[in-house]
Structure 1
Amino acid sequence: MTDTMAMDKQSLIERAKTQMQQHLGAPDWSLREKVALTCRILFAQGHDSGLAGQITARAERPGEYYTQRLGLGFDETTVGNLLRVNADLDVLEGDGMANPANRFHSWIYRARPDVRCIIHTHPVHVSALSMLGRPLKIAHMDACMLYEDVAFLPQWPGVPVGNSEGEIISGVLGDKRAALLAHHGLVVACRSVEEACMMAIQCERAARLQLLAEAAGEIREVEPALAREAHDWILQDKRSQAGFAYYARRALRAVEAGAEHPLATAATA
Structure 2
Amino acid sequence: MGKTLTLPKDLLVKQALNQMQQTLADNTWTDRQKLALTCRILFENGHDSGLAGQITARGPHPGTYYTQQLGLGFDEISAGNLLLVNEDLEVLEGHGMPNPANRFHSWVYRARPDVNCIIHTHPTHVSALSMLEVPLQISHMDLCPLYDDCAFLEGWPGVPVGNEEGELIAGALGNKRAVLLSHHGQLSTGASIEEACVIAQLIERAARLQLLAMAAGEIKPIQPELGREAHDWIARPKRHTAAFNYYARQNLRRHADCLN
Smaller-chain TM-score bracket: over 0.9
Counterpart residue identity of residue 4, structure 1 = T
Instruction: Report 1:57-96 matches (<5 A).
Output: 57-96=57-96
1:179-203 superposed Cα distances (whole Å, 9 cap, x missing partner):
0000000001221101100100010
- Give, in whole Å, the separation in 2 of the partners of 1:2 and 1:178: 42
Instruction: Report the alpha carbon displacement of residue 63 of structure 1 after superposing the two structures with TM.
Output: 0.8
Quick one: which amino acid aligns to residue 61 of structure 1?
Answer: H
Question: 1:50 matched to which residue of 2?
Answer: 50
Q: State the 1:2 CA deviation.
A: 8.4
Task: State the match for 1:262 in structure 2.
Answer: 258
Task: State whether structure 2 residue 168 is matched by structure 1 residue 172.
Answer: no
Q: Which residue of 2 aligns with 1:123?
A: 123
Partner of 1:267: none
Match status 1:132 vs 2:128: no
Between the aligned partners of 1:66 and 1:16, the Cα distance in structure 2 is 36
Q: Which residue number in structure 1 is paired with residue 202 of structure 2?
A: 202
User: Which amino acid letter does the alignment assign opposite residue 229 of structure 1?
Assistant: E
* Corresponding residue of 1:25: 25
Alpha-carbon distance in 1 for matches of 2:257, 2:161 = 31
Which residue matches 2:5?
5
Would you say 1:157 and 2:157 are equivalent positions? yes
Residues 116-175 of structure 1 deviation map (CA, whole Å, 9 limit, x = unaligned): 000000000000010111110000000011000000000100000000000000000000
Deviation at 1:22, TM superposition (A): 1.0
Q: Matches of 1:106 and 1:163 in 2, distance apart?
A: 9
Q: Give the CA deviation at 1:27.
A: 2.3
Structure 2 Cα separation of the partners of residues 28 and 8 of structure 1? 37
SS in 1 for 2:258: coil
CA distance in 2 between counterparts of 1:45 and 1:100 reads: 25
Structure 1 match to 2:234: 234
SS in 2 for 1:197: helix
The equivalent residue for 1:14 is: 14
Q: Which amino acid aligns with 1:233?
A: W
Q: How many Å apart are 1:208 and its aligned residue?
A: 0.3
Distance 1:125 1:197 in 2: 17
Letter in 2 for 1:178: A
Which residue identity does 2:57 align to in structure 1? A
* Unpaired stretches in structure 1, ≥5 consecutive residues: 265-269
Distance 1:43 1:78 in 2: 13
Q: Secondary structure at the match of 2:196?
A: helix
- AA aligned opposite 1:135: P
Alpha-carbon offset, residue 254 of structure 1 = 2.1
Match of 1:99 in 2: 99
Query: 2:2 and 2:32 mapped to 1: Cα distance?
Result: 43
CA distance in 1, matches of 2:229, 2:29: 30
Q: What SS class does the counterpart of residue 37 from structure 2 fall into?
A: helix
CA distance in 2, matches of 1:263, 1:189: 22
**Mapped partners of 1:213, 1:90: distance in 2:** 45
The amino acid across from 1:93 in the alignment is E
Whole-angstrom CA distance in 2 between matches of 1:26 and 1:48: 27
CA distance in 2, matches of 1:123, 1:112: 24
In the aligned structure 2, how far is the partner of 1:223 from the partner of 1:28? 39
Counterpart for residue 244 of structure 2:
244
The aligned length equals 260
State the distance in 1 between where 2:229 and 2:198 align.
18
Q: What is the TM-score when the length of structure 2 is the normalising length?
A: 0.98
